[in-house]
Structure 1
Amino acid sequence: MTLHTLIDYDILRLTWWALIGVLLLAFAVTDGFDLGTGILLPFVARNDIERRVVINSVGPVWEGNQVWLILGGGAIFAAWPQLYAVAFSGFYLAMFAILVALILRPVAFKFRSKREDPGWRARWDGVLFFSGFVPSLIFGVALGNVLQGVPFRLDLDMHIFYEGSFFGLLNPFALLCGLVSVAMLAMHGSAWLQLKTDGVVAERARRYGSMAALATVLLYGCAGLLLWKYVDGYRISSMIDPVGPSNPLLKTVEGHAGAWFVNYTAQPWTMAAPVLGLLGAIGAWLGLRMRREIFTLLCSAVSISGIVLSVGASMFPFILPSSIHPAASLTVWDSSSSHLTLFIMLVVSVIFIPIIVAYTTWVYHVLWGKVDEKAIRDETGHAY
């Protein structure tokens, strides 16, 4: 018996499904307030000093937060190669738009204050808004399309054929999911600004954040209702081997109304995810109104976690369903890398993820405290 066979293949597959969720969730919670701050920048800051306060609230940490996105993308590539292939080919233009926005963000951070010209700075402020709004919207649109099924198929040699278009992704339900994402991250950004700023910036963040929190509750509730009433889910109608080969075509899948809610009936504890999504947003609204800084940020993070986890809970064991060839749908049990690959990745993750968490925690501890507007004016202690 070799070392990697000590952990069963089905356990490794399930573990990596959960780990991918954890990595993407860490990105949503940490880089989420960066994106939300960018969305709120034109609304909470009315002059150059106020804008610099907002920018410096995330300036020291935004690069580190993106580590989770890089880890998530790399893990998908290694653990679920078919998912990576379909997502990065079918969603190519959407991914390109996200990358353009994320690439422009550091440029805006670095170049904005190089000149004192108001027009120059205003243009870079527009870029920061763009780099916050566009990824937030597209991530939500992507999840909306995943819930509806993506138009791809596989041939017998496992070649992937994507038959959709970029504008086909911009359907009403997917756009609604995109608005959920924008409202959710704007709420999270406002919670961060309440924690890191004082004065009029914090007051405006509370006002706009309260509206974003209520919008999150309303939009998320509407999306759930539409998903239940009008969006068909998918279910496996044949036997599937959890330790079988990574060949999605060995099963039978059919679309079925309400299929995405079956897991909540079969495993009632999974209802905790959507409930936390709603209660967290309500808690964030209350925290903003009561000026409870830590409480608001925690509630906002709980809301994001619940909303994201509700997608995984409702779809399990599906990872990426196909709308035109349901049998090609990718699931936890038939689209992973080999047993050995998953085991090696797990060992590496057990070693390095705690190191990343420890380092990140230390950085946030060192950088704790509010951004001082007086220090901004005096040009001391702030880089942007």
Structure 2
Amino acid sequence: MILSDLIELETLRVIWWALMGVLLIAFALTDGFDMGVGTLLPFVAKTDVERRIVINTVGPVWEGNQVWFILGGGAIFAAWPPLYAASFSGFYLAMFALLAALILRPVAFKYRSKRESTAWRAGWDRALFVGSSVPALLFGVAVGNVLLGVPFYLTDDLMPMYEGNFAMKFLGLLRPFALLAGVVSLSMLVMHGAAWLSLKAEGPLAARARAIGTYAGMIAAATYALAGLWLAVGIDGFAIQGEVVRDGPSNPLYSTVIHGGSWLSAYSDRPWIAIAPLMGFVGIALAVLGLRAGREVSTLLWSKLAITGIISSVGLTMFPFILPSTVRPDSSLTVWDASSSHLTLFVMLVAGAIFLPIIMAYTAWVYKVLWGKVTEDDVSEQSY
């Protein structure tokens, strides 16, 4: 018996589906407050010193936070090749817009304080705002489109093909429900950024962040509830028809999928998954109360709980689907038929078991070292 036979293919597929979710949640928990802080920058900071304080609350950690984004992309590429191929080819223009916005952030961080010019710094502040708010919005739009289903199909040799011309591949993603999901994402991360600023800044700056974060949390709760209601009454879900083969070949065309019914039927089949949206609403409520009361550490933790619950609710509601097809439902990608080989998943799991704890320990150490408030005296010694 070879070592990889110790874990069945079905189990490995579920493990890597869960790990993909963990990596995406970790990215939202860490780089999410970076994006929230960048989005808040024009609204909470009134002077150049205050803007430098805001930027320096995330300046030392934003690069490390993006490790989770890279790990998530790498996991999708290696563990779910059909998902990587279908999503990147169909969302090409959206991905380009997302990456262009993400590129603005490091450039803004590095160049903002290279000149004393007010216009120069104001320009980079706007770039930082765009580089933070646009990804926060587009990540939610992407999730909304996955719930709606994507207009692609697989050829007999499993090549993904999309309907519509090149421009419509982007404009077609801007559907009302997807935009609503984008608002959920943006407001959620603004609340998270406000919780971070409440912890790292002080005085009027922190007070403004708490005030805006309170409203952002209310918007996040309202739009999240509206999205759930919309899913219940206005959007068809997907389901596998017939026997589900969990350890079969990675060929989505072997499954029969129907497009109809409700995504929320998953809650009657697996009632325990209701814990995810409950975490989302409870986390938002307690984070908002914490912001209003001026609490710091607990508010950030409640905000993290909200993000974990909201993102988890999407994955648990859709399981086992990871990219449904509206054109040919039988081409939909699921946990059971879109993975890499048994050996590949096992080798990746061993590597993950070794390196993920190292990354987590190092990240925790960095935050411990950088613990504390950012003050005016601190920014006078920094270059951001």
TM-score, normalised to structure 1, is: 0.98
Q: 2:194 aligns with which of 180, 184, 190?
A: 190
Counterpart-to-counterpart distance in 2, 1:238 and 1:128: 50
> What aligned pairs does 1:282-361 form with structure 2 within 5 A after superposition?
282-361=285-364
- Looking at structure 1, the residues matched to 378 and 298 of structure 2 have their Cα atoms a distance apart, in angstroms, of 27
Distance 1:3 1:162 in 2: 40
Give the alignment partner of residue 373 of structure 2, picking from 361, 370, 373. Answer: 370
Corresponding residue for residue 180 of structure 1: 184
Amino acid of the residue matched to residue 309 of structure 1? S
Give the counterpart letter for 1:156 in structure 2.
D
**Cα drift, residue 160 of structure 1:** 1.1
Structure 1 segment 119-134 matched on structure 2, within 5 A: 119-134=119-134
Amino acid at match of 2:363: T
Partner of residue 162, structure 1: 162
Q: Which residue of 2 aligns with 1:76?
A: 76
- Match of residue 242 from structure 1: 246
Match of 2:61 in 1: 61
Task: Tell me the residue number matched to 1:252.
Answer: 256
- Map Cα deviations across residues 258-307 of structure 1 (whole Å, 9 max, x no partner): 1x112211221100101111111111100001111011101110001100
What is the CA distance between 1:200 and its match in structure 2? 1.0
Q: Matched residues in 1 for 2:282 and 2:88: separation?
A: 34
Conserved? CA contact 2:190–2:213, under 8 Å: yes
Counting aligned pairs with the same residue, the percent is 61
For residue 35 of structure 2, what is the aligned residue in structure 1? 35
In the other structure, the counterpart of 1:88 is: 88
**What is the CA–CA distance in structure 2 between the aligned matches of 1:311 and 1:99, rounded to whole Å?**
23
SS of the equivalent of 2:172 reads: helix
Conservation of the 8 A alpha-carbon contact between 2:33 and 2:196:
yes
CA distance in 2 between partners of 1:46 and 1:31 (Å): 24
Asked whether the equivalents of residues 231 and 264 of structure 2 are also in contact (C-alpha less than 8 Å), the reply is no
Pick which of 156-165 and 312-321 moved more. 156-165
Residue ranges of structure 2 left out of the alignment (5+ in a row): none
| In 2, Cα distance between equivalents of 1:26 and 1:141 | 19
CA contact (8 A) 1:151 1:323 kept: yes
Q: Distance in 2 between matches of 1:363 and 1:291?
A: 25
Q: Deviations over 1:207-229 (max 9, x none)?
A: 00000010111010011111111
Q: Please name the residue that 2:204 is paired with.
A: 200
Post-superposition offset of 1:175: 0.3
Q: CA deviation at 1:240?
A: 2.2
Are 1:228 and 1:257, in contact at CA under 8 Å, matched by a contact in 2? no
Aligned residue for 2:140?
140
Q: Which residue of 2 aligns with 1:152?
A: 152
Secondary structure at the aligned position of 2:315 is classed as helix
Deviations 1:15-61 (A, max 9, x none): 00000000011001100000000110000001100000000000000
- The one-letter code sitting in structure 1 at the alignment partner of 2:370 is L
Task: Report how far residue 383 of structure 1 moved.
Answer: 3.1
Matches of 1:236 and 1:369, distance apart in 2:
51
Aligned counterparts of 2:203 and 2:178: Cα–Cα separation in 1: 37
State the alpha-carbon separation in 1 of the partners of residues 8 and 364 from structure 2. Answer: 33
Question: What is the identity, as a one-letter code, of the residue corresponding to 2:73?
Answer: G
- Amino acid in structure 2 at the alignment position of 1:48: D
CA–CA distance in structure 2, aligned partners of residues 162 and 359 of structure 1: 42
SS in 1 for 2:237: strand
> Structure 2 CA distance, aligned partners of 1:310 and 1:131?
27
SS at 1:166's partner residue?
helix
Cα distance in 2 between the residues matched to 1:139 and 1:322? 19
Matches within 5 A, 1:256-295: 256-258=260-262, 260-295=263-298
Deviation track 1:121-155 (CA, whole Å, cap 9, x = no partner) reads 00000000001110011000000000000010011
Write the distance in 2 (CA, Å) between the matches of 1:112 and 1:213.
30
Letter in 2 for 1:202: A
CA–CA separation in structure 1 for the residues paired with 2:224 and 2:49: 35
What's the Cα RMSD here?
0.8
Unaligned runs of 5+ in 1: none
Q: Distance in 2 between matches of 1:269 and 1:342?
A: 27
> For the residues of structure 2 that align with 1:96 and 1:142, how far apart are their CA atoms?
13
